[in-house]
Amino acid sequence: MAADVRLCLTPFDPALEQAQFARAHPQAGGVVSFLGQVRQDGEVQALELQHYAPLTLPGMQALGDATLARWPLDGLLILHRSGVMVPGDPIVLVAAAARHRRDAFAAADYAMDHLKSESWFWKREQRGGEWRWIEPRAEDHADKARWAN
Amino acid sequence: MSAKLVFLGRLADLAGASELDVPGGALQDILATLPAPLALALLDERVRFALNGELVGERALVLGDGDELAFLPPVSGG
């Protein structure tokens, strides 16, 4: 079984994707999903994620393979936006389906920690009409370090 | 003979473009033709290189016709 991994250049519907994923894996007793969306904090007007085609999707696919190799899953979904988004827009959706819920929770957590710290995306925010690149967060690396690899 | 440099993230702002066509040759000679602040930023030790879509650790590269060298600053995605 291969993970369903997509780099989305246009908006996706997380509710629809989650529902289709759960329906596609009726043998799974647990489906865990995580949705990351553009935070509404009153100042951020837009968020842009940039990717590098030769590396970004292949890297996400390798992460999907590594996640599948680590837990007994029935299915794995990884969707990530690239491009310009506004507050409330979905950025990333990870869903894991497993016979038992703990494997699904752990696999989704692992995939998210590695997406945040390792995947080939560069992010900038627009505030007051000005674009500013976001530097890597130490917390993201600490989150990834919770896993042996 | 020409090669292409690709700048990601803040490096594109610094370069004023996301791509630049350059004559092939030794990378150090190519970088010497760029504005010094850009060349310095590209050589920051946290910037990774990808040659034709593959990460490379080697920095003493020689670019040939059609080669694409991408400069990848630390990621901040997700």
Listed by start position, the domains of chain B span 2-72
Tell me if ipTM is over 0.85.
yes
Inspect the interface and report whether the beta carbons of A55 and B75 lie closer than 8 Å. Answer: no
Higher pLDDT, A138 or B28: B28
Confidence of residue A102 (pLDDT cuts 50, 70, 90): very high
Q: Is A24:A95 a contact under the CB 8 Å cutoff?
A: no
Selected residue of A122, A140, A141 to mutate for chain B interface (largest B Cβ count, 10 A): A122
Instruction: Please tell me if residue A115 touches chain B, with a CB cutoff of 8 Å.
Output: yes
Q: CATH code for A4-144?
A: 3.90.1170.40
Instruction: Please tell me if residue B51 touches chain A, with a CB cutoff of 8 Å.
Output: no
- Name the token pair of A129: 């009409």
Q: How far is A88 from chain B (nearest CA, A)?
A: 14
| Residues 6 or more apart in contact with residue A58 via CB below 8 angstroms | none
Q: What local confidence, expressed as pLDDT, does residue A49 receive?
A: 96
Q: What local confidence, expressed as pLDDT, does residue A42 receive?
A: 83
pLDDT (tens digit per residue) in B38-67: 999 999 999 999 999 999 998 899 999 999
Confidence of residue B1 (pLDDT cuts 50, 70, 90): low
DSSP three-state, residue A11:
coil
Residue A8 reports pLDDT greater than 80: yes
The predicted model gives A73-83 an average pLDDT of 98
Residue A80 reports pLDDT greater than 80: yes
Would you give the distance in Å from CA A148 to the centre of its chain?
A: 20
Q: What local confidence, expressed as pLDDT, does residue B77 receive?
A: 65
Confidence of residue A107 (pLDDT cuts 50, 70, 90): very high
C-alpha to C-alpha distances, A33 to A58, A114, B36, B38, nearest whole angstrom: 22, 15, 47, 41
CATH homologous superfamily for B2-72? Beta-grasp domain (3.10.20.30)
Query: Which residues on B lie below 8 Å from A112 (Cβ)?
Result: 78
Q: What local confidence, expressed as pLDDT, does residue B78 receive?
A: 64
pLDDT (tens digit per residue) in B7-46: 999 999 999 999 999 999 999 999 999 999 999 999 999 9
